[in-house]
Chain A
Amino acid sequence: MEEIIRCEKVKKTFTVRDFLGINKRVVLAIDNVSMTINKGVNTGIVGESGSGKTTLAKILLLLVRPDDGSVYYKGTNITKFSETELRFFRKNVRIIFQNPFKSLNPRANVERIIKEAMPEDERKTKKIADVLDAVGLPQNYKDRYPHQMSGGERQRVAIARAIAGNPECIIADEPTGNLDATTEVYILNLLDRLKKIFGLTYVFISHNLKIVEKMCEKIIVIYRGNIVEQGLISQVLKSPLHPYTCLLYNPVSIKTIETVDKTSQGCPFAYRCSFAKKICFEVKPQLKEKEKEHLVACFLYE
């Protein structure tokens, strides 16, 4: 299977200072994450809010450089590449941001937004009209500015921008997170159609397992910056292993909503886990293969 992006042991911490800059708090957003995106295998990343999904997406795109670890594009380590050296990568891997109200430059109209997204040598030949058609926007939207469009329309512009460069992979960061239910269905169908037309591979980020099931073949569950479970959709769907995955499937079963902000050396989920044993608080479980391609980081399965 052809590999597109792979990251190895990437780590990212953010330092948050208070108003006076005296108290520092270090947030570990991504902790030792390794994952691979293969061509044609749509990968879903799920996790609750704040688990580091967006940060992971930005690292995969090198929009945020990891503190530690490496990112590979087709086998080449590109972690330290300059923006100029990354140009070929940027053309092939694109992102759709979570919030369409923030991801479009308020001072650029649709025509400019799309034109800019095309590689320079294609700007003359490729037509904006075709791109607008592909995302189902009327031609006269060319002259609109972001604030003149609804959230769904903006997200379609963001999608148009992503596909304008003919990428092979698109990282969609909760593309419907800010939209209502009907628009959500529309956008998901659109993304599905585009996938077939352009032969795209998606990395689909969501907190909604149902959507990921529909869109993806592979799923990665992350909790507080750690991958806790990963596998094919069919496997994870049939038999979710990690207690956190089970909880995501069935949110009503949440017993304690303790959000302990301790950075334990143990399992990050231990404080909320109803099956936690003593060892869970002391040692961090490693991702281990349970069945073929189905990995889990939990002591329950050791």
Chain B
Amino acid sequence: MKNFFQRLKNHSKLAFFSFWFLVIFYIVSFLADILAPYHFDYQFRDKPYHPPTKIHFFDTQGNFHIRPFVYNTVVDDPVFRSYREDTSKIYPIKFFVDGPERKILFFFKTKKYLFGVDKPAGIFLFGTDTYGRDIFSRLLYGGRISLSISIAGVIISFTLGMITGGIAGYFGGIIDQILMRLVEILMVFPSFYLMLSLRAMFPLNLSSIQVYLLIVLILSLIGWAGLARIIRGMVLSIKEEDYVLAAKSLGLSHWRILIFHILPNTFSYTITALTISVPGYIIGEAALSLLGLGIQEPYPSWGNILSSTIGNLRVLGDAPWLLLAGFFIFVVLINFNLLGDALRNVLDPKNW
């Protein structure tokens, strides 16, 4: 494992950075409810489309405060919703402030928030949305959903793809025929329509956890078919290699040959395909959300945060911070692509 990091670093500094960047992203989004200053559906009714809050060290008199603070804001122009800072009182940023009770890490109930400011002021690092909800908090919570959906989806569909492709290619004959026809049936549908029709098979009003699982299921069902097809082709050629015959001549079982001698030799392809396809799942979820079929409000996902923004033209000019979800999707996508390319080389013993 230590070797792995060293190799990754030696191979490409950029990919090494991407790797840690993604690890941090995943950790942060997993800890979303600890880090977020507000619960994802907590609304500041008087502060919709609020721009990112300014954090101050100097008050109007020019005194330096060691503890950064914010001012409360009031609506300046109700039509264009511009805000003005009310500089009469400062609200220092505090740690472990009290707020409405919520569950963290799925189990623990608490009233404490990691950081925040006293009411009626708010600290909105990335601004607020139409309902006056803190975008920063929603992005954290949404990241948890989007990133975990993508990882779960990728893992399921790659496992499915490797198993079916491996079995079809290795055993051949009637098994191969059946599996590949099944794959082809899935592949003839354009994936977007397949996604929609799969979603349509289930009722609209599901609980959020059901929707979550359903999306993982749908996305992985779509992803595995093409992969199985490619893996099968690779297995067909690899199983003729001398080293596979050698494994057979040792009397190893079919499963051992398939799992330890054939499939690892498809990794140069699969590892890259795997990392490169992660963003596809985030976007797939976003596409479902855009049509209102994904994660439902008030639960946030990067997909539905973005989709609630698109189609709302004034946002582009007046509240560009609402597009940050798209930016995060983009950043994750780039990092996965960078990492994928490097991983292929790093995980190949030829380069050790």
Interface residues of A (CB under 8 A from B): 58, 61, 63, 83-84, 86-87, 89-91, 94-95, 97-99, 102-109, 116-117, 145-148, 158, 161, 165
Q: Which residue of A lies closest to B251 (CB)?
A: A90
- Are A105 and B250 in contact, CB atoms less than 8 angstroms apart? no
Inter-chain CA distance A148–B248, complex, in Å, is: 24
B243 at the interface (CB under 8 A from A): yes
Q: Given contacts A84-B253, A105-B261, A117-B250, could you give 6 more A-B pairs where the C-beta distance is less than 8 Å?
A: A102-B243, A106-B349, A107-B349, A108-B260, A116-B250, A116-B252
Counting chain B residues whose Cβ lies within 8 A of the other chain, the interface size class is 20 to 34
Inter-chain CA distance A89–B248, complex, in Å, is: 12
CB within 8 A of A161: which of B242, B250, B260, B264?
B250
A residues in contact with B254, CB < 8 Å: 83
Interface pairs A-B: 9 shortest CB-CB: A90-B251, A102-B242, A145-B349, A103-B242, A105-B243, A107-B264, A87-B251, A97-B242, A95-B249
Known contacts A106-B350, A107-B265, A145-B349; is A97 also within 8 Å of B246 by CB?
A: yes
Proximity string of chain B (15-36) to chain A, C-beta cutoff 8 Å, 1 when within and 0 when not: 0000000000000000000000
Q: Which residue of A lies closest to B250 (CB)?
A: A117
B residues in contact with A87, CB < 8 Å: 251
Interface residues of B (CB under 8 A from A): 241-254, 256, 260-261, 264-265, 267, 349-350, 352
Q: Which residue of A lies closest to B246 (CB)?
A: A103
A residues in contact with B248, CB < 8 Å: 63, 83
Inter-chain CA distance A117–B352, complex, in Å, is: 24
CB within 8 A of A147: which of B241, B242, B246, B350?
B350
CB within 8 A of A61: which of B247, B249, B265, B350?
B249
Give the dominant DSSP class at B's interface: helix
Inter-chain CA distance A95–B264, complex, in Å, is: 23
- Are A90 and B243 in contact, CB atoms less than 8 angstroms apart? no
Inter-chain CA distance A103–B249, complex, in Å, is: 11
Inter-chain CA distance A145–B349, complex, in Å, is: 7
Q: Which residue of A lies closest to B267 (CB)?
A: A107
Inter-chain CA distance A97–B349, complex, in Å, is: 22
Inter-chain CA distance A91–B261, complex, in Å, is: 19
Inter-chain CA distance A147–B349, complex, in Å, is: 8
Give the dominant DSSP class at A's interface: loop
B residues in contact with A165, CB < 8 Å: 250
- Among B246, B252, B254, B267, residue most surrounded by chain A Cβ atoms (within 10 Å): B246
Q: Which residue of A lies closest to B243 (CB)?
A: A105
B residues in contact with A105, CB < 8 Å: 243-244, 246-247, 260-261, 264-265
Q: Which residue of B lies closest to A84 (CB)?
A: B253
- Are B350 and A90 in contact, CB atoms less than 8 angstroms apart? no
- Tell me the smallest distance from the CB of B305 to a CB of chain A, in Å: 42
A residues in contact with B247, CB < 8 Å: 105, 116
Inter-chain CA distance A99–B243, complex, in Å, is: 10
CB within 8 A of A145: which of B256, B265, B352?
B352
- Tell me the smallest distance from the CB of B266 to a CB of chain A, in Å: 10
A residues in contact with B243, CB < 8 Å: 102-106
A residues in contact with B244, CB < 8 Å: 105
Inter-chain CA distance A97–B250, complex, in Å, is: 13
A residues in contact with B265, CB < 8 Å: 105-107
- Tell me the smallest distance from the CB of A261 to a CB of chain B, in Å: 24
- Tell me the smallest distance from the CB of A202 to a CB of chain B, in Å: 15
Q: Which residue of B lies closest to A90 (CB)?
A: B251
- Tell me the smallest distance from the CB of B334 to a CB of chain A, in Å: 29
A residues in contact with B250, CB < 8 Å: 90, 94, 116-117, 161, 165
**Can you give 25 A-B contacts (C-beta < 8 A)?**
A58-B245, A63-B248, A83-B254, A86-B251, A90-B249, A90-B250, A94-B250, A97-B242, A97-B245, A102-B241, A102-B243, A105-B244, A105-B246, A105-B260, A106-B265, A106-B350, A107-B349, A109-B349, A117-B250, A145-B349, A145-B350, A145-B352, A158-B246, A161-B246, A161-B250
Inter-chain CA distance A161–B246, complex, in Å, is: 9
Q: Which residue of A lies closest to B350 (CB)?
A: A147
A residues in contact with B267, CB < 8 Å: 107
B residues in contact with A117, CB < 8 Å: 250
- Tell me the smallest distance from the CB of B311 to a CB of chain A, in Å: 49
Inter-chain CA distance A104–B350, complex, in Å, is: 13
Known contacts A102-B243, A104-B243, A145-B352; is A63 also within 8 Å of B261 by CB?
A: no
- Tell me the smallest distance from the CB of B256 to a CB of chain A, in Å: 8
- Among A89, A95, A104, residue most surrounded by chain B Cβ atoms (within 10 Å): A95
Inter-chain CA distance A188–B180, complex, in Å, is: 47
Inter-chain CA distance A158–B249, complex, in Å, is: 12
- Tell me the smallest distance from the CB of A11 to a CB of chain B, in Å: 20
Q: Which residue of B lies closest to A86 (CB)?
A: B251
A residues in contact with B256, CB < 8 Å: 116
- Tell me the smallest distance from the CB of B56 to a CB of chain A, in Å: 58
Q: Which residue of A lies closest to B351 (CB)?
A: A147
Inter-chain CA distance A94–B251, complex, in Å, is: 10
Inter-chain CA distance A105–B249, complex, in Å, is: 13
- Tell me the smallest distance from the CB of A162 to a CB of chain B, in Å: 9
- Tell me the smallest distance from the CB of A26 to a CB of chain B, in Å: 19
- Tell me the smallest distance from the CB of A141 to a CB of chain B, in Å: 14
Q: Which residue of B lies closest to A117 (CB)?
A: B250
- Are A99 and B352 in contact, CB atoms less than 8 angstroms apart? no
Q: Which residue of B lies closest to A93 (CB)?
A: B249
B residues in contact with A103, CB < 8 Å: 242-243, 246
- Tell me the smallest distance from the CB of A64 to a CB of chain B, in Å: 9
Inter-chain CA distance A104–B249, complex, in Å, is: 13
- Are B245 and A63 in contact, CB atoms less than 8 angstroms apart? yes
Inter-chain CA distance A165–B350, complex, in Å, is: 28
Inter-chain CA distance A99–B241, complex, in Å, is: 11
B residues in contact with A86, CB < 8 Å: 251
- Tell me the smallest distance from the CB of B5 to a CB of chain A, in Å: 18
Inter-chain CA distance A106–B260, complex, in Å, is: 11
- Tell me the smallest distance from the CB of A20 to a CB of chain B, in Å: 18
